Structure 1
Amino acid sequence: MSSRTPERPSTGPSPTAGNDREPRADARRNREQVLRTAQQLFATQGLGIPLDEIARRAGVGPGTVHRHFPTKESLYLAVAIDQIRRLVTEGEALAGTDDPAALFTLLSRMMASGAENAAVKSALTAAEFDLRNAAPDAAADLTRQVAGLLDRARHAGVVRRDVAVDEVMAIVAGAFAAIRHAGADISRERSAHIARIILDGLRPRPR
């Protein structure tokens, strides 16, 4: 495998060259629509769908897609990072509740997201992209959300007291592999079933 350091594609709206102003609101909306559409199409139709078809389905011109994402690889990475950021937002919302078992809700969503984006993650792995290096802030934010919910769950006695956040993150990563190995990444019901089995291992043992 090559040890190259891939050029990092843009992961967020960036100013026009020579202009420090934020992009227009419609440009941001278009980019978000492209990301949502691409994620859905990659999950349902695979990675072979052309950028121009993604543009058509998103209701934008081909130039809009190519301007934000000049290569498929850059779009894969942006979709994956967008999913992490959405999970961070979900974690923040769960942290604002008083549900002691909110950890399991977030971990279930993380596993579902991983199953839905399995093809994208595989493509990034093949291209030697590491999301933790490509988007360290987003990855760290997600780990912090998990850590906070884990601490709450531990104090409430709804999770094993001997589990650490790095172990939880490893379990989630392993769940992606388990779901894909079982061929369950194309079935939300089966992937959710496998996720529940895995998450049961985090619950306190009966006395």
Structure 2
Amino acid sequence: MATNEPPRRADSLRIRVKLLAEARHLLESAGLPVQYNDLARRAGVGVGTVYRHFPTSRSLLEAMAAEPFRELLDLARASIDEPDPWEAVERVLRAQVRLEIEHAGVREVLATTADEHPDTAAMKAELDQITDGLLSRARRAGRVRDDVEAADLRLLVCGVGYAARIAYGTPADLYLRVLIDGLRRAPGE
């Protein structure tokens, strides 16, 4: 069974939804990796059921990140129509950091290149393609430096998301502002 595709039977779908909800709770409280025995106990199922739905920890993580990732892609798609190219870039960066802070596991999926499910790889490729387009527009407008590509930016923003999650009391906006300022084309370039 593909990791991001819902099961066909109603009871299997209910179990999957319960597993994802409990996995999110475990991820928030205990961090990575989500222990399948703990997940099975919390969801009231056998560990074999967990493995049937999510054969690997990575497949579970990708499934947990799928919905927030789709939200990020929707916002990125909408940013294509933003008249100000710099605003479009900032909007996507802010959305990614917000989702990484609000949804544990999103950063780990965005930061790696080894995806188990083709949908995850396709979403990353689309995000990079949109971001490359936004960066190209901003470059033509003289607003962003020439040496940063979408994949670089995705990883840099993952770093901001990580720092914001572990820096107690420091607002994520400070770290994001430093990154954004570093992306701007310096006067005279």
Q: TM-score range by the shorter chain?
A: 0.5 to 0.7
Q: Say if 1:147 and 1:71 are closer, same or farther in 2 by CA, change over 3 A.
A: closer
Give the counterpart letter for 2:175 in structure 1.
Answer: I
- Quote the sequence identity (%): 31
TM-score of the two chains, using structure 2 as the length reference: 0.65
Q: Deviations over 1:50-92 (max 9, x none)?
A: 324664xxxxx74786653255443123224544333222211
- Paired residue for 1:193? 174
Q: Compute the displacement of 1:120 (Å).
A: 7.2
In the alignment, structure 1 residue 103 sits paired with structure 2 residue 85: no
Q: Deviations over 1:159-181 (max 9, x none)?
A: 325245x3x4214313434654x
TM-score of the two chains, using structure 1 as the length reference: 0.61
CA RMSD of aligned residues (A): 4.1
Q: Aligned partners of 1:130 and 1:119: how far apart in 2?
A: 14
Q: Compute the displacement of 1:139 (Å).
A: 1.5
- Paired residue for 2:115? 131
Q: Compute the displacement of 1:30 (Å).
A: 7.2
Q: Secondary structure at the match of 1:86?
A: helix
Q: Which runs of 5+ in 2 are unaligned?
A: none
Give the counterpart letter for 2:165 in structure 1.
Answer: D
Q: Compute the displacement of 1:13 (Å).
A: 1.8
More helix by share: 2
- Paired residue for 1:18? none
In the alignment, structure 1 residue 173 sits paired with structure 2 residue 159: no
Q: Which runs of 5+ in 1 are unaligned?
A: 1-8, 16-22, 56-60
Does structure 2 conserve the Cα–Cα contact (< 8 Å) formed by 1:51 and 1:72? Answer: no
1:117 to 104, 122, 126: 104
Q: Secondary structure at the match of 1:130?
A: coil
Q: Aligned partners of 2:184 and 2:161: how far apart in 1?
A: 20
- Paired residue for 1:13? 5
Q: How many residues align?
A: 178
Q: Aligned partners of 2:126 and 2:155: how far apart in 1?
A: 16
